Amino acid sequence: MDSEEQALERSIATLESLKAQIANIQQQLSALELSIQEHKKAIETIEGYRNMGDDEILIPIGAGVLISAKVSGKKGLISIGNALYTEMNIEEIAKKLKERMEDLEKLKTKLMEDSYRLQENYALLSAKVEEDYRKYIEERRNVQTP
């Protein structure tokens, strides 16, 4: 195998690696977007809850079942990681969720920038590989034809 052919194979392997990295980032972005939407929904729910008096509310518990509960105390539990929760008042929970959502948005922006750079690199390398392959084929034809 000559050096041109080896260089083409290395470039193609690099293209495949870039393609895999782009797909990985796209999966991360999808998961991140779901998490952002979940945070938005939780914040909206807390805002509505905060504005309630001592009303009775229905709480979904799954399997199409709702139970009634009386609103009082305006406290809740928030995850602090590894299945650990801490009790906070609703305002603190809303603030914490907004901070987390901001962090998720920053991460999303960074991943989008990384994806864009990888896609640019992929496009440039792909064009170069196509050109190098075309030249390689032409040289092979010239060598075979006397």
Residue 66 half-sphere exposure toward CB, CA atoms < 13 A: 5
pLDDT at 146 over 80: no
pLDDT at 27 over 80: yes
Tokens of 52: 């309630």
Mean pLDDT along residues 36-43:
96
Reduced to 3 states (helix: H, G, I; strand: E, B; else coil), residue 61 is strand
What predicted TM-score, i.e. pTM, was given to this entire model? Answer: 0.77
Mean pLDDT along residues 94-123:
97
pLDDT, tens digit (0-9, with 9 covering 90-100), for 47-105: 888 888 778 888 889 999 999 988 777 889 999 989 899 999 999 999 999 999 999 99
In the DSSP assignment, the letter for residue 54 is S
- Quick one: pLDDT at residue 51? 83
Tell me the domains of the chain and their CATH numbers: 3-51+90-144 (1.10.287)
